[in-house]
Amino acid sequence: MYAILDLGGKQYKIEKGSRLLVDHLVSEKDEIEFKSVVMFNNGKNVKVGKPYIENMVVKAKIVNPLLKGEKLTVYKYKAKTGYRRKKGFRPTYTEIEIIDLTEEKEG
């Protein structure tokens, strides 16, 4: 059983118990719910959303709220003018663990 989750313009293949590094999420709670499930496969049936599946909820636990990635160096250069710029950047991530993939019941 797995699902495709859309977070921050990126898509992640998730299963129950899997851990992900996603772009930094700001949340005061330890658990988060995502409703942006693009596809769900339970082994027998496949559901595809338009764009998201209605009533599908992914529950996740924040394991590490703030991780720093590798440093990236951006260097700009223009020939013959003496123009040079060097900048560093470290992206921040949040590590989450998928707890459950469920369908909400209406009622």
- Encode pLDDT of 26-75 as tens digits: 988 899 999 999 999 988 999 999 999 998 999 999 999 999 999 999 99
Q: What are the structure tokens assigned to 103, written together?
A: 């369908």
Quote the pLDDT of residue 106.
Answer: 64
Quote the pLDDT of residue 33.
Answer: 93
Q: Please report the sign of the dihedral spanned by the C-alpha atoms of residue 43, residue 48, residue 53, residue 58.
A: positive
Average pLDDT over residues 3-26: 94
C-alpha span between 21 and 107 (Å, rounded): 34
Quote the pLDDT of residue 102.
Answer: 86
Residue 2 has pLDDT above 70, yes or no: yes
